[in-house]
Amino acid sequence: MPTDSPPAAPRLQQTNLVEQVADYLTEAIIARHFAPGVRLSEVQLSRDLGVSRAPVREAARLLESRGLLISRPRKGFFVRELNGDDLADVFDLRLCYERHAFELLAVRFDEAAHAQLSQQVETMCELAKGSDDGRKIEADLRFHRLVFDMAGNRRLLKAFDDLSHELRLCMALNERTHAEPGRIAANHWPLIEALASGKAQRCREAVDYHIGVARDYVIQGLGGASGTERPMSGAGATSEEGRC
Amino acid sequence: MPTDSPPAAPRLQQTNLVEQVADYLTEAIIARHFAPGVRLSEVQLSRDLGVSRAPVREAARLLESRGLLISRPRKGFFVRELNGDDLADVFDLRLCYERHAFELLAVRFDEAAHAQLSQQVETMCELAKGSDDGRKIEADLRFHRLVFDMAGNRRLLKAFDDLSHELRLCMALNERTHAEPGRIAANHWPLIEALASGKAQRCREAVDYHIGVARDYVIQGLGGASGTERPMSGAGATSEEGRC
DNA sequence: ACTCTCTGAACTGTCGACAGTCGGTGGTCG
DNA sequence: CGACCACCGACTGTCGACAGTTCAGAGAGT
A39-40 and A76-79: which strand pairing?
antiparallel
Q: Nearest residue (Cα to C1') for C20?
A: A15
Residue among B65, B96, B154 whose CB faces A89 most closely: B154
Instruction: Return the pLDDT at A3.
Output: 41
Give the mean pLDDT of chain A. Answer: 86
Whose CA is closest to A218, among A29, A83, A35, A67? A83
- A75 CB below 7 A from strand D atoms: yes
Is B58 at the interface with chain A, CB within 8 A? yes
Question: Which nt is closest to the CA of A54, judged by C1'?
Answer: D14
CB B169 within 8 A of CB B69: no
- Burial bucket for residue B2 (CB in 10 Å: 0-12, 13-18, 19+): middle
CB atoms within 10 A of CB B64: 18
Q: Which of residues 155-194 of B touch A (CB under 8 A)?
A: 155-156, 159, 163
What's the topology of domain A84-221?
A: Four Helix Bundle (Hemerythrin (Met), subunit A) (1.20.120)
Distance from CA(B15) to C1'(C27), angstroms, rounded: 50
Whose CA is closest to A204, among A111, A124, A96? A96
Among B64, B95, B100, the residue to mutate for chain A (most A Cβ within 10 A): B100
- A75 CB below 7 A from strand C atoms: yes
Instruction: Return the pLDDT at A202.
Output: 96
Give the mean pLDDT of chain B. Answer: 86
Instruction: Return the pLDDT at B51.
Output: 95
Residues of chain A with CATH 1.10.10.10: 17-79
Instruction: Return the pLDDT at B220.
Output: 79
Highest mean pLDDT among A10-14, A179-183, B154-158, B184-188: B154-158
Instruction: Return the pLDDT at B160.
Output: 98
CA distance A203 to A200: 5
Q: Provide, for chain A, the percentages of residues in helix, strand and coil under a 3-state DSSP scheme, each rounded to the nearest 5.
A: 65, 5, 30
CB A66 within 8 A of CB B162: no
Instruction: Return the pLDDT at A52.
Output: 96
Average pLDDT over residues A100-107: 97
What's the topology of domain B17-79?
A: Arc Repressor Mutant, subunit A (1.10.10)
Least confident of A56-60, A110-114, A167-171, B65-69: A167-171
Residues of chain A with CATH 1.20.120.530: 84-221
The phi, psi pair for B25, rounded to 5°, reads -65, -45
> Which nucleotides in chain D lie closer than 7 A to a protein CB?
10-17, 21-23
pLDDT at A224 over 80: no
Strands (DSSP E) found in chain A: 39-40, 69-72, 76-79
Question: Which nt is closest to the CA of A41, judged by C1'?
Answer: C11
Instruction: Return the pLDDT at A232.
Output: 55
Instruction: Return the pLDDT at B173.
Output: 74
Average pLDDT over residues A120-137: 89
Instruction: Return the pLDDT at B10.
Output: 53
Is A83 at the interface with chain B, CB within 8 A? no
Mean pLDDT in runs of 10 for chain B (244 residues)?
47 76 96 93 95 97 96 95 93 98 97 97 92 87 98 98 94 67 88 96 97 88 54 50 46
Instruction: Return the pLDDT at B75.
Output: 94
